[in-house]
Amino acid sequence: MDEKLPEWLEQCLTEDDRQLIGIVGTEAFLRLIDTYGGGNVYIPKNDRFERYARNKAIVAEFDGYNFRELAQKYHLTEMQIRVIVKDKAAAVRAKPVDGQMSLFDAPDEQNTDK
């Protein structure tokens, strides 16, 4: 069970302090004070993790051309989709088209005119 706060500390708590104690408990609150007291701590919003999962799904579904479809499916703009898939789009563009020869491919001897 959480320990009781000293009376002097109890008297100087703000409403935010009390709310935090209600969420994490007295012991964790005191550890937070010891670790981060006087500093700023960023606590991310829950949607940050949802966006991460959504973006991974978008990249997985991206085929190199389906910007509009992904934008509609995920209720984003095409520009947002382009930013999310930027690295994969570059990789897709760098791949040769199926059946396309590279400049470095040796010609097939059967198909060369002699």
Q: Mind giving me the DSSP string for 69-101?
A: HHHHHHT--HHHHHHHTHHHHHHHHHSPPTTPP
**What pLDDT does residue 106 have?**
67
pTM higher than 0.85: no
Q: Is the sign of the CA dihedral 78, 81, 87, 93 positive or negative? A: negative
Residue 84: count of CB within 10 angstroms of its CB: 22
Q: Where are the domains of the chain?
A: 1-43, 47-94
The owner of tokens 């700023």 is 40
The confidence band for 71, taking pLDDT boundaries of 50, 70 and 90, is very high
14-27 pLDDT, tens digit each = 999 999 999 999 89
